[in-house]
Copies of this chain bind each other. A is one copy, B any other.
């Protein structure tokens, strides 16, 4: 059997209580005995029995990292960056439990007895049910990527409007005026925010908004392809296209190549997300990096503080995104 505080107690000639206190750095214990006990613990390679500890402290040292789903809708690099970011903070202090919400039949197993705190990388409104369930059970929660207005939840997300505005501004700075946009999925907040950024950039630069240049995509590869085809069929083809995410940008690029046109010579393409593929495309895609990994890190720091110090007042935090200039946009001035 593994060593317990009792074993240490015997060796140190004290009670197990003293050992417990010493190991937990209680101020009640003399430094001398404390050090002695710690020394013995180290030599015996003592590792606390987490279950026993949890039973009495009501903690678990489990942090849950939930995604709306682990399926195709979650981009690999998005997923990877999030887990990486969170784990880089959590390290071995906590267990990081990675799950898709859709793997749970019901939420009975989501309890404070199983999770000290939860980070949710939320991608759809359907997650709200989950979120309210978690709040109800008084489990600390941080929501990434979506804005949740509730005084119990902390949201951390990119300022999509500012980011897309910056992206479109870059196109304008490169001399483009005929700029089309392929929108994301209808009804999504991010779609709306990115659209707003596009509008604002145009308006602030006195460029008329051309309805023909507004295409309704749905964030997937195929919709980018289809909508781009429509844009190419216009009598007045845009000189640049802002795609609301990289997947659609790739679809659009395919459509452009198929039409026998060149990027960026004939038409410039701007993406959004920096999804990990975009740097390898030919030409490499100019896009917006949302620093997902960093959002994961912030989420982790926040939940730890929440869990350990109880600072859990709801708030919404915006993180900056970064324009990544590569080779799919041409300066036409």
- The interface of chain A, by Cβ under 8 A from chain B, is 2, 45, 47, 49-52, 54-55, 60, 62, 70-71, 74, 76-77, 79-81, 83-84, 87-88, 91-92, 95-100, 103-105, 108-109, 111, 113-114, 221, 250, 253-254, 257, 276-277, 280-282
Choose one: B79, B91, B92, B108; the contact of A80 (CB below 8 Å).
B79
Q: Which residues of B contact A74 (CB under 8 A)?
A: 80
Verify A92–B104 contact, CB threshold 8 A.
Answer: yes
Complex Cα distance, B276 from A247, in Å, reads 12
Q: Which residues of B contact A250 (CB under 8 A)?
A: 280
Complex Cα distance, B85 from A218, in Å, reads 26
Majority SS of interface residues in chain A? mixed
A152 smallest CB distance to B (angstroms): 19
Q: How many copies does the complex hold?
A: 2
Choose one: B81, B92, B253; the contact of A105 (CB below 8 Å).
B92
Complex Cα distance, B103 from A277, in Å, reads 26
12 contacts between A and B (CB under 8 A): A2-B113, A45-B108, A62-B95, A70-B80, A71-B84, A79-B79, A79-B83, A88-B103, A92-B109, A276-B277, A281-B282, A282-B282
Verify B113–A87 contact, CB threshold 8 A.
Answer: no
Complex Cα distance, B122 from A191, in Å, reads 39
Verify A99–B92 contact, CB threshold 8 A.
Answer: yes
Complex Cα distance, B254 from A104, in Å, reads 44
Verify A87–B111 contact, CB threshold 8 A.
Answer: no
Complex Cα distance, B284 from A280, in Å, reads 12
Given contacts A76-B76, A96-B99, contact A113 B55 (CB under 8 A): no
